[in-house]
Amino acid sequence: MPYLFTSESVSEGHPDKVADQISDALIDHFLAYDAKSKVACETLVTTGQVVLAGEVKSEAYLDVQDIAREVIRKIGYTKSEYMFEANSCGILSAIHEQSPDINQGVERKSPEEQGAGDQGMMFGYASRETDNYMPLALDLAHKLLLELAAVRRENKDITYLRPDAKSQVTIEYSDDNKPVRIDTIVVSTQHDDFDKDEQMLAKIKADIINIVVPRVKAQLKPELQSLFNDKITYHINPTGKFVIGGPHGDTGLTGRKIIVDTYGGKGAHGGGAFSGKDPSKVDRSAAYATRHIAKNLVAAGLCDEVLVQVSYAIGVAKPCGLYINTYGTANVKMTDGDIARKVEEIFDMRPYSIEQRLKLRNPIYSETAAYGHMGRESQVITKVFNKGKKTEKKVEVELFTWEKLDHVDQVKKAFGL
């Protein structure tokens, strides 16, 4: 019996994502000037106001107001009519020193025995469904909003867009779990005010369907392009007018889009948010490490789909357990439990080892804070902090290291593939 599966995404201008990006910009600045920084930073954004709160242990001193304003400016909140604007919004900082009770559980005399920054379980997932080993519905939802943001910044083909937007894609699957067609596409985008609402709605729908969607389709390989047809149901700004948006339309908080950040509802999620946390927090680092494992297992041909879980006790280096579920797609004659035990021999999942393997003590997190932490392209770039100031610093970093297929040969050798 065919079935439908849906995933959503939100743009960089969505209030929750504004909060995530501010929190991760602070993380990057702390790590750029003190790689040993321990940070847990939360952000709240609302009409004309930003509130920063959290715990920090660092030698670095930051102008948090300036950092927050630069993030807001880069997103596109630069006009007073948005009721949330980079230069004029109020910014309140309530950041204080990290609890020594937590810190004593993390830091050890031997770095290798660094304890986990919290208890909990983290999940990684990968599938052959797309070239980046991500679920198709989420990948398309992200691509729609990335293209919408690109069109907004070009300000050429579509000139009325504002930063806030959401997308949603529903895929029809066959009995053997293969995508057959796109059933529904939902896009809600903030826009400038118009004189005539009906004409406005018609134009927005036409522009999304005739400009944005074809640009997304053109990025896909032919078999995925064939999923687009004239039977797709489109809901474009289905509530009608969407002028009031962003933090003025809805309060935003760090960590409220964890499914958008990961796999769009596929696989599983341990419940922990990522943004605003340094890599000693396994909510973040171990989620990246399990994605790294999952992607390399599928790419090596061990299985066609896999879910990886790891769990920790606070202050303890060794994981409580590693779980593997190949959904019956394994290409080796081993149980999932046997596969998990062999995977433990390949990937050291102690927090310090994860940090070293994936180079997580670098300022690499701002780029993760919108359009998903997984399925992105690993690349080396140079980032500039406090540009034009006496404290200006350039740092060469490698982004999205957990997306690298650098353990495929080891997996193949270990499993005789």
Answer yes or no: is pLDDT of 236 > 90: yes
205 is in an annotated binding site: no
What pLDDT is stored for residue 114 in this prediction? 80
Residue 107, pLDDT score: 62
Per-residue pLDDT, 340: 98
Cα angle 298, 304, 306; round to 5: 70
- 392 annotated ligand binder: no
Label residue 104 exposed, middle or buried (CB < 10 Å: 0-12, 13-18, 19+). Answer: exposed
The domains of the chain are located at: 3-10+135-245, 120-127+282-415
Confidence at residue 102, expressed as pLDDT on a 0 to 100 scale: 53
Annotated ligand binding at 313? The verdict is: no
Q: What's the CATH code, domain 3-10+135-245?
A: 3.30.300.10
Known binding residue 156? Answer is no
Distance (Å, whole) CA 46 – CA 23: 15
The answer to the question of whether 256 is labelled as a binding residue is yes
Is 30 annotated in some ligand binding site?
no
For the chain, the farthest-separated pair of C-alpha atoms sits apart, in whole angstroms, at: 68
16 assigned binding-site residue: yes
Strands (E), 85-208: 90-97, 120-127, 161-173, 179-191
The answer to whether the annotation marks 242 as part of a ligand binding site is: yes
Q: What are the Cα distances from residue 168, in Å, to 94, 142, 165, 181?
A: 35, 9, 11, 15
> pLDDT digits over 193-216, tens only?
987 788 889 999 999 999 999 999
What is the pLDDT at residue 1? 80
Would you say the CATH fold of 120-127+282-415 matches that of 3-10+135-245?
yes
Encode pLDDT of 310-363 as tens digits: 999 998 999 999 999 999 999 999 999 999 999 999 999 999 999 999 999 999
> Is residue 168 a known part of a binding site?
no
pLDDT at position 103 is 55
410 annotated as belonging to a binding site for a ligand: no
Give residue-wise pLDDT tens across range 242-271: 999 999 999 999 999 999 999 999 999 999
In contact, 398 and 314? CB cutoff 8 Å: no
Check whether 295 is labelled as a binding-site residue: no
- Residue 219 CA to chain centroid, in angstroms? 20
Q: Which residues, in sequence order, are CB contacts of 24 under 8 Å at separation 6+? A: 275, 276, 365, 366, 368, 369
pTM of the model: 0.96
> Is 42 marked as binding a ligand?
yes
From the list 265, 374, 270, 368, the residue with the least C-alpha distance to 319 is: 270
Least confident segment among 30-39, 75-84, 102-111, 226-235: 102-111
Per residue in 62-116, pLDDT (tens digit) is 999 999 999 999 999 999 999 999 999 999 999 988 765 555 556 656 676 787 8
The contacts of residue 188 (CB under 8 Å, 6+ apart) are 165, 166, 167, 236, 237, 238, 239, 242
Q: Residue 116: what pLDDT?
A: 83
pLDDT at 196: 78
User: Annotated binding residue at 383?
Assistant: no
Do the strands 161-173 and 321-325 form a parallel or antiparallel pair, or are they unpaired? unpaired
Which of the four pLDDT bands, split at 50, 70 and 90, describes residue 240? confident
Classify 120-127+282-415 by CATH class.
Answer: alpha beta
- Note the pLDDT of residue 412: 98
Residue entry with tokens 């202050």: 315
